[in-house]
A = this chain, B = another copy of it.
Amino acid sequence: MTNDDLRLAERLAAAAGAAIRPYFRAACSHETKADASPVTEADRAAEAAMRQILAVERPNDGIIGEEFGAERADARRVWVLDPIDGTRSFMTGRPSFGTLIALLEEAQPVLGLIDQPIVGERWIGAVGQATRFNGAPARVRNCPDLGQAQLATTSPYLFSDAGLNSFEAVRMGVANTIVGGDCYNYALLSIGQLDLVIEEGLKLYDFAALVPVVAGAGGVMCDWQGQPLDQHSDGRVIALGDPTLLTQIVQMIGRA
């Protein structure tokens, strides 16, 4: 991973945003067929725009995208693309969805970018570097007491029954829980506005970009056993601003 990769990721995000913006809040009728909904069209246009740049700039790197699948997925370097994380938010006109771009090297996320193209907010993280939010350093906040923590999750309806039990065990111990948000929750955690995000059912393209953003801001992102996230993770994730709480949270989840 080089600074040139960081600059390329920003160009990918800019291209995705330009492809997405015309579709945001564009249709407000139920007439549109499901397989050609504005969100699907925006998703495809944005991923195609990013793939076009990668084909020219990084012809040997692999690509795993939400819309168009995998190419050279066994390459040493693989770009992971989720043009619109937060489909429901996009569909209902909320500017809290995000474009997610990650670079894996040997299956480990080494670069991550979260872009909100309507409001104009961008987070970028890379191994060994401080995460930046619109160019300025991003930093998690301390929260050594779980009882003071602000917890977020996109929706309680996205958990399995067993997963919901674990989530509820933690929720009972925090100060407040806020729902909704998608990738934006992890972005807010990286600037010290949230302390904890717990989710289940995430795909590689949902979480790969988040890991370097959270880690580069001083937080930790891992699975429900406290293990690092990689290509083979089961989609159950914890993001934590203050790593000192990790053991306690993993225990609460395990006992539930």
Contacts and interface: CB of A to CB of B under 8 A. Distances in A.
Copies in the complex: 2
Given A28-B141, A156-B156, A96 B96 contact: yes
Nearest to A182: B180
B30 A89 contact: no
Given A96-B96, A157-B177, A179-B155, A150 B28 contact: no
A188 B93 contact: yes
A89 B178 contact: yes
Interface in A201-218: none
A143 interface: yes
Residues of A in contact with B, size category: 35 or more
A247 B191 CA distance: 46
A92 B178 contact: yes
Q: Top 3 closest A-B pairs, CB basis?
A: A180-B180, A28-B192, A93-B193
Interface of A: 25, 28-30, 88-89, 91-96, 119, 139, 141-143, 145, 148, 150, 152, 154-157, 176-181, 184, 188, 191-194
9 contacts: A25-B191, A30-B141, A91-B150, A93-B191, A94-B96, A94-B184, A155-B177, A155-B178, A157-B177
